[in-house]
Structure 1
Amino acid sequence: MPMTSSAAAPPVYLLPGWLNSDAEHWQSRWERTLGHVRIEQADWEWPRRGDWMARLDEVLLADARLAQTPAVLVAHSLGCQLVAAWAAHSQHTARVRGALLVAPPDTEREDMPPQLHNWRPIRRPRLPFPAIAVVSTDDPYCDPARAGEMAADWGARLVLAGPLGHLNTASGLGDWPEGQALLATLRGASAAG
């Protein structure tokens, strides 16, 4: 059984947020060291929700493995809002086994940059797959109580990471082993992982 679980490990897709993840971001480090695949977007500076959702659908449909072994999505910042919007709209959610949602931003705040205004309103239907939302207690882009409300609406298990800012490169997470452990629980689901 452990051999099959390793052979059929769910693919992992990385969903960066606005402006993409820089070279020292934990997502970029996971891409380099763990072989996870980043979903590239056509426009990182002026992200259009519909375009990002269509791109996610396109990538998941192109991966034939996902019919047998659904993927795990690992989203940071605006990538979390992408997962919520995509799941509320797509007919292909069965291709996803679970989602790790890290530092979801509050795109409905008045002080959000104009590039993110088309991400309003936040999509809040319950996700059709297991999810874990990791939230910092001092994230400059989302009050932890507000992030907790989003996580509850999405049906995601809430993990408070402490005062770590936006859980990005500036947070000094390195390879972020705590995040890798959370990912392992989503990838393992029923097995030991």
Structure 2
Amino acid sequence: MESSSIKLLPGWQNSGPGHWQTVWEQSLGYERVQQHDWLHPKRGDWTARLQDVVLDAPEPVVLVAHSLGCILTAWWAAHSPQAAGKVRGALLVAPGDVERPDLAEQIPGWAPIALQKLPFPTILVGSQNDPYCSAERAQWLAQHWGARWVDQGACGHINAESGLGDWPLGQALLAELMAEPTKVK
């Protein structure tokens, strides 16, 4: 699988310097899915952009999502007939709980969260002290999405402030997803 088949889905406000997604993009050549507006995300716009990127990919992709990117992945998969055939797997990291009143106010239009089983192998990584989604809520989302739960420990929002660098655990989990046999549709 080529590095261009790995699609990075940052969350609200994008992933800046020092974020493991930025490190992976710069050092491993993974493609960041660019959005029209990182500060005022519209679910419909972000969903359409993800659909375009996945359909334009010459081979199945692996999605690597952070925060709002996790919520986007679930929503897109619930509405795209191509999700099962074009996505090989997804690594979802530190989902943002957009159903919490404080986050729903900051990022309107993203609730409800799609809660169906995702049609591709999925690993969800959460943190014990994520300020945007409790570990219990992240585990609950993993259960609904049919994802394997991985507890990162006390790492905050698993972002640049977490000081993970190139995040070896994340790379190992991604390698597991990439080793999954591709489903033939």
TM-score range, shorter chain: over 0.9
Which one of the candidate residues 166, 169, 179 is aligned to 1:175?
A: 166
Cross-structure match for 1:74: 64
- Residue 127 (str. 1) matches residue 121 (str. 2): no
Residue 126 of structure 2 aligns to a residue whose secondary structure is: strand
Residue 75 of structure 1 aligns to a residue whose secondary structure is: strand
Letter in 2 for 1:18: W
Q: Could you say what the CA RMSD is over the residues aligned between the two structures, in angstroms?
A: 1.3
Task: Give the structure-2-normalised TM-score.
Answer: 0.94
Cross-structure match for 1:138: 129
Q: Is the 8 A contact 2:104 2:110 kept in 1?
A: no
Q: Which runs of 5+ in 1 are unaligned?
A: 1-7
Q: Is the 8 A contact 1:9 1:187 kept in 2?
A: no
Between Structure 1 and Structure 2, how many residues are aligned? Answer: 180
Letter in 1 for 2:27: T
Alignment partners' CA distance in 2, 1:156 and 1:132 = 5
Alignment partners' CA distance in 2, 1:189 and 1:33 = 23
Q: CA deviation at 1:9?
A: 4.6
Cross-structure match for 1:26: 20
More displaced 10-residue stretch of structure 1: 159-168 or 109-118 = 109-118
Structure 1 residue ranges, 4+ long, deviating more than 4 angstroms after superposition:
none
Letter in 2 for 1:84: A
Q: Is the 8 A contact 1:132 1:158 kept in 2?
A: yes
- Which structure has the greater CA radius of gyration? 1
Taking the TM superposition and a 5 Å limit, the aligned residue runs for 1:9-158 are 9=2, 11-63=5-57, 65-66=58-59, 70-93=60-83, 94-112=85-103, 114-158=105-149
Alignment partners' CA distance in 2, 1:166 and 1:138 = 8
Q: CA deviation at 1:111?
A: 1.4
Q: CA deviation at 1:175?
A: 0.4
Q: CA deviation at 1:114?
A: 2.7
Task: Give the structure-1-normalised TM-score.
Answer: 0.90
Q: CA deviation at 1:62?
A: 1.5
Letter in 1 for 2:29: G
Identity %: 55
